[in-house]
């Protein structure tokens, strides 16, 4: 039996799964006995599977092409959709332009959408109601040939009334005030256009709903806190009763309490020191 256990453990340590060991003719009961307290957790099993069978976790070219098509179709059908990483990864020049928007309160007059999807590309800042695309260009946009060609293709998509306003990132960092004046002057050249999005009431309802949910969460946290305090008081009362029944002066009372509570002698002493005088 020991030889069988050793053999199963050797096979398991070599990377075989329990299922593959079963296929080698071993009984399930023997495998469970041999691998008692030694089986891999989910994380280790996944790491070993990736190491032994890397091709099983790779997308084929056919699958990659299908995923690309699905992604592009989604952005085409949902032009205002933006992935979370695009919304969160805001560069320093983009933060400066966002500061320009807030400083001049432009959002009151214009519908501004960040990372606006213009199939199959994204616009850094889109002023939707006047059809203006603002692009904050890093150095790669005039140094890297692939980026230059991509920008040219991107500009061909704006023939249906949209205009592009490009701001080099070094310029907005070094001459922010000049960039601000030039951009505000450029905005005045557009005819007055009403905002397309009127979300004021929806925003109010959304904020009220958030407030209601927060109140609910606070109430639940308060109830949970009270319940924990009650349980702690009950636990403390039960233990103090145990101490009273066994008697502090009785020989071996710490050992008895240790067995009763299923804790170590040190834990019993700490409890008595904290709640019942020095042990």
CA distance 33 to 31: 5
CA distance 218 to 270: 34
Task: Judge contact between 182 and 173, C-beta under 8 A.
Answer: no
pLDDT at 168: 86
Quick check: helix, strand or coil at residue 61? Answer: helix
pLDDT digits (tens, 9 = 90+) for 126-170: 888 888 888 888 777 677 777 777 777 777 766 567 888 888 888
Tokens (6 digits) for 35: 């691998």
CA distance 148 to 154: 10
pLDDT at 275: 81
Asked which of 10-19, 96-105, 127-136 is least confident by mean pLDDT, the reply is 10-19
Please say whether the dihedral angle defined by the alpha carbons of residues 19, 23, 27 and 33, taken in this order, is positive or negative: negative
Beta bridge partners of 137: 168
CA distance 107 to 101: 7
pLDDT above 80 (res 257): yes
pTM, entire model: 0.43
- Return the higher-pLDDT residue of 179 and 145: 179
Task: Judge contact between 196 and 116, C-beta under 8 A.
Answer: no
pLDDT above 80 (res 9): no
All structural domains of the chain with their residue ranges? 2-57, 71-187, 210-275
- Phi/psi of residue 197, each to 5°? -100, 120
Homologous superfamily (CATH) for 71-187? VSR Endonuclease (3.40.960.10)
Mean pLDDT in the chain? Answer: 78
Task: Judge contact between 116 and 126, C-beta under 8 A.
Answer: yes
pLDDT above 50 (res 279): no
pLDDT above 50 (res 237): yes
pLDDT at 119: 65
What confidence tier does 223 reach under pLDDT thresholds 50, 70, 90?
very high
pLDDT at 22: 78
- Return the higher-pLDDT residue of 211 and 96: 96
CA torsion, points 194, 200, 206, 209, in degrees to nearest 10? -170
């Amino acid at each position: 039996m020991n030889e069988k256990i050793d053999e199963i453990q050797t096979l398991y340590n070599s990377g075989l799964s329990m299922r593959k060991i079963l296929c080698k003719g071993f009984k399930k009961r023997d495998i469970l006995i041999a691998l008692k307290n030694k089986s891999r957790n989910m994380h280790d099993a996944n790491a070993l599977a990736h190491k032994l069978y890397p091709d099983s976790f790779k997308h084929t070219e056919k699958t990659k092409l299908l995923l690309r098509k699905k992604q592009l179709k989604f952005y085409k059908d949902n032009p205002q959709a933006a992935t979370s990483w695009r919304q969160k990864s805001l560069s320093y020049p983009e933060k400066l332009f966002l500061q320009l928007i807030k400083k001049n309160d432009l959002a009151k007059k214009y519908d501004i959408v960040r990372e606006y999807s213009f199939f199959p590309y994204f616009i850094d800042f889109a002023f939707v109601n006047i059809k203006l695309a603002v692009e904050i260009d890093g150095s790669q946009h005039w140094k890297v040939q692939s980026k230059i060609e991509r920008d040219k293709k991107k500009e061909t998509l704006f023939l249906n009334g949209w205009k592009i306003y490009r701001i080099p990132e070094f310029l907005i960092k070094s001459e922010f005030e000049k960039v601000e004046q030039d951009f505000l002057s450029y905005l005045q050249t557009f005819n007055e256009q009403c905002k397309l999005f009127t979300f004021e009431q929806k925003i109010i309802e959304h904020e009220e709903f958030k407030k209601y949910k927060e109140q609910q969460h606070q109430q639940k946290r308060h109830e949970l806190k009270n319940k924990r305090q009650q349980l702690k008081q009950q636990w403390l009362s039960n233990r103090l009763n145990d101490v009273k029944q066994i008697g502090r002066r009785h020989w071996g009372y710490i050992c008895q309490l240790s067995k009763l509570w299923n804790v170590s002698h040190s834990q019993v002493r700490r409890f008595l020191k904290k709640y019942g005088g020095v042990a």
